Structure 1
Amino acid sequence: MTPGEGARDERRAVEKLQALVRIPTVSHRDASLVDTAAFDRLLAELERQFPLLHERLELTRIPTHALLFRWPGRSAERPVVLMAHLDVVPVEGTWQHPPFSGDVVDGSIWGRGTLDDKGCVAGICEAVETLLEDGFVPAQDVWLSFGCDEEVSGDAAPLAVEELVRRGVRPWFVLDEGGAVASEAFPGVAAPVGVVGVTEKGVTSLELRVEGRGGHASTPARMGPTARIARAITRIDRSPMPASTPEPTIELFRRLAPHAPLPLRALMANAGRLGPVLSRALVAAGPEPAAMTRTTFAVTTLSGSPALNVVAATAKAGVNIRIMVGDTVAGVLEHVRKVVADDEVHIDVVEQNEPSPISPRDEAFGLVETTIAELFPDAVPAPYVMMAATDSRFFTRICDRVYRFAPFRMTKAQRESIHSYDEHLGVEAFLDGVRWYRRLIERLPA
């Protein structure tokens, strides 16, 4: 391949991601709010941009707009599933560049979904497309599972699992979004960290609800619905669950120890023995490190009176809980009831999920790890507990090895842009991600 041909191929790959970002496939919990035409356009665009993938792989449509592809390998003994999702969250905040423009500015592709998760969709598809162009046949069956409602914990991923169960497929490993090649990840650690999620927190959502008489705002009663809800929120906020240091976090810090400032090296190198001390240090270091050590509670929605001069007859608060490995839904509910300590506050469970099992660090993890080392030689590959939720949690039903890694370099500012504003992915970072997926597929063992 000449340098000119290589540059054209790289421009082509970037243009494909731009095309996907420009289609606003926003998911909503209320299905009536979903723009199904946008999802139709996205599926048509995927077929246009990746023709060989659609011609040569077996496709199963999963309701409503999810896709499950099978790429037959030389063997079906240890199939692999590569995952990503097609939907994005709504746009919020003021953006430097239009959120669905896909503009390339200052060496980055800007837009909702570049990081979460159309970058992975395009990266996987481009890797497969170029391997097909080269006549490559993978050593094992490769399945591509692209969900359409991941952002709202929808049914597409469980239905994809059902389809694999029906076919008798038990994957050797599953790889979804999650970690990244993260810079500025830990104070004092200059090296980027290739964090691979080997488990993820359980997601549980509660609605706190207080009902009362309501009435005119000129004659408010003491401890009405809004006051009781406020007190309940404050009690939850002031009563965190105990901190702990699960095994993947201990291993993460052990691997980072040689790269840490001298005062922290001993603590990190001996994280297994000094777990309680490390937990306290992480809690004190800020919200992101603290979330690595314990179950978290975030009050995300509030509702009360419909008018300023009306006392609320019903007040509600939504609480999003990320349950730490080692904790349980039942234990979290018991904790909430105990700290709220008010029978007038009704606690309704909206959704509940236990933490995912911890995946082993064996040959499959080693393949992911060595591919990170090959493509990102300056990074420290390491396991971690993923704080967010992915569709891959449903695949733990049929697979013991579920890993979460997006092969893109991300700064702290980029990670903060996910579900926020100014989401963007570096052009070179995206191209490295394509190469990473391609290399992973090429290295699947016979």
Structure 2
Amino acid sequence: MTDHASDRVVTALQALVRIPTVSDRDPSRVDAEAFDRLLAELKDHFPLLHERLTLTVVGTHGLLLNWPGASADRPVVLMAHLDVVPVDAEAPWQHDAFGGEIHDSPSGPAIWGRGTLDDKGCVAAICEAVESLLEAGHVPAQDVWLSFGCDEEVSGTAAPEAVEVLRERGVTPWLVVDEGGAIAGGAFPGVKPPLGVIGVTEKGTTSLELVAEGRGGHASTPARNGPTARIARAILRIEKSPFPASAPAPTLELMRRIAPHVPLPLRPLLGRADQLAPVVTRALLAAGPEAAAMTRTTVAATTLSGSPALNVIASTAKAGLNIRVMVGDTVAGVVEHVRKAIADDSVRIDVIESGEPSPISPMDEAFELLESCISEVFPDAVSTPYVMMAATDSRHFTAISEHVYRFAPFRMTKAQRQAIHSYDEHIGVADLVDGARWYQLLIERLPS
């Protein structure tokens, strides 16, 4: 990649980060003008892309761009999203969250700000790859589509609309690549090389609300088992009734691939992970909450509401549950599990959001293409499949493609991964440039 291209992608990401494109479930709370400015910035920084690719607007500000290739037999979709989550004003950011400033980090100069990793870094890197190839006169072997959603962080409609546009045009993607995994350093204790984790599936995202009702009244005369007490008891019962654990096939393959890099006593176990699945599952459960989440459906009580005043007994108490549904489980099964765990017919269960886990994409030619690009740009990384815990826009694309993968081509330390949706989010300058190089290589290597 030329120095000009490297400078361009860095400058572009700085400009994008400075625009607070915060999405919200309530459309009236969205700053549409900020999204307008961001689209204008994209056009300014990547003029050839906007001149030569055909643009379709999806949702309010989502983009679907088509770059015709030598063939339309095996089209490719590269995805990212333009929106970000809000910034907590009380969080101790070292630098302005919407400043897009370059400051030192433990791994060198970095761009700091909301969206650098989630997900404007991918937007800038994809656009830079396409812009550089257009400047070089490159024609991709297959049609390339760019799908940039504008409401991913609130599970919005732009991605489903993009899927419908592609379906209507008869486009069946051979390969879809969205955010998700990364070149993850410090992913497992004792594993020295970074892991190039490629999400071959993702957990389903489901939200339930527990509701308990009663008479309410004055706090000076409380009755037993009021709405608040019943909600509290329900939450504790759910916590004491975890879902059954079993490591899915991608997790077992991940264990097998990292086996040569773990401490010697663990190598025989992980090297035969597929044959010793129950033992591996128990080991993951004992390794802490992050590892345990790789083996089962998880439930987190997130929102609580009750009385409007300290001296008033609640007439209605509610608890929100955020559930990540493991591959092999279903939303219906999750609701039934929660119902049995609560064992209280006076607590109502409302399904607020229902999302099944995504199908597992195969580790065939398409997956191997991603692996080869990782090996070229990040030669020290160990490529491996994994089950993604969070939700991405790409889950909608599984309706039209069997090959949907989740991978952001950036080196990320554990601290960086923890900064996503938190404070001090940042991406290394060199890592951004390498990410753009990875996308460019992927496009160059598309099979004819």
Q: Distance in 2 between matches of 1:333 and 1:285?
A: 27
Q: State the SS of the aligned residue for 1:226.
A: helix
Q: Percent identity?
A: 73
Letter in 1 for 2:101: D
Indicate the residue corresponding to 1:97 in structure 2.
95
Indicate the residue corresponding to 1:435 in structure 2.
437
Contact residue 8 and residue 45 of structure 2 kept, 8 A:
no
Q: Deviations over 1:313-360 (max 9, x none)?
A: 111111010000111111111100000011111100011111100001
Q: Give the Å deviation of 1:7.
A: 3.5
Indicate the residue corresponding to 2:164 in structure 1.
162
1:47 to 43, 48, 51: 43
Letter in 2 for 1:147: G
Letter in 2 for 1:122: A
Q: Give the Å deviation of 1:238.
A: 1.4
Indicate the residue corresponding to 2:423 in structure 1.
421
Indicate the residue corresponding to 2:72 in structure 1.
76
1:350-369 matched pairs, under 5 angstroms? 350-369=352-371
Indicate the residue corresponding to 1:328 in structure 2.
330
Indicate the residue corresponding to 1:223 in structure 2.
225
Q: Distance in 2 between matches of 1:301 and 1:202?
A: 19
Indicate the residue corresponding to 1:388 in structure 2.
390
1:265-284 matched pairs, under 5 angstroms? 265-284=267-286
1:110-259 matched pairs, under 5 angstroms? 110-259=112-261
User: Which runs of at least 4 in structure 1 moved beyond 6 Å after TM superposition?
Assistant: none
Q: Deviations over 1:166-194 (max 9, x none)?
A: 10000001000000000000111011000
Q: State the SS of the aligned residue for 1:24.
A: coil
1:15 to 2, 11, 18: 11
Q: State the SS of the aligned residue for 2:79.
A: strand
Q: Give the Å deviation of 1:267.
A: 1.1
Letter in 1 for 2:183: V
Q: Distance in 1 between matches of 2:46 and 2:223?
A: 64
Q: Distance in 1 between matches of 2:275 and 2:6?
A: 48
Q: Which runs of 5+ in 2 are unaligned?
A: none
Equivalenced residue count is 442
Q: Distance in 1 between matches of 2:58 and 2:407?
A: 23
Root mean square deviation, CA, Å: 0.9
Indicate the residue corresponding to 2:343 in structure 1.
341
Q: Give the Å deviation of 1:224.
A: 1.0
Q: Give the Å deviation of 1:299.
A: 1.0
Q: Distance in 2 between matches of 1:9 and 1:104?
A: 17
Contact residue 17 and residue 99 of structure 2 kept, 8 A:
yes
Q: Give the Å deviation of 1:430.
A: 0.7
Q: State the SS of the aligned residue for 2:235.
A: helix
Q: Distance in 1 between matches of 2:238 and 2:95?
A: 38
Q: State the SS of the aligned residue for 2:390.
A: coil
Indicate the residue corresponding to 2:28 in structure 1.
32
Q: Give the Å deviation of 1:8.
A: 4.0
Q: State the SS of the aligned residue for 1:189.
A: coil
Letter in 1 for 2:76: V
TM, length-normalised to structure 1: 0.98
Q: Distance in 2 between matches of 1:325 and 1:165?
A: 26
Q: Which runs of 5+ in 1 are unaligned?
A: none
Letter in 2 for 1:185: A
Q: Distance in 2 between matches of 1:27 and 1:399?
A: 27
Contact residue 119 and residue 179 of structure 2 kept, 8 A:
yes
Q: Deviations over 1:366-394 (max 9, x none)?
A: 10011001100000000011111000000
Q: Give the Å deviation of 1:12.
A: 2.2
Q: Give the Å deviation of 1:9.
A: 3.3
Q: Distance in 2 between matches of 1:212 and 1:31?
A: 34
Q: Give the Å deviation of 1:276.
A: 0.9
Q: Distance in 2 between matches of 1:215 and 1:97?
A: 48
Q: Distance in 2 between matches of 1:403 and 1:243?
A: 24
Q: Distance in 1 between matches of 2:300 and 2:75?
A: 38
Q: Distance in 2 between matches of 1:142 and 1:9?
A: 20
Q: Distance in 2 between matches of 1:426 and 1:235?
A: 44
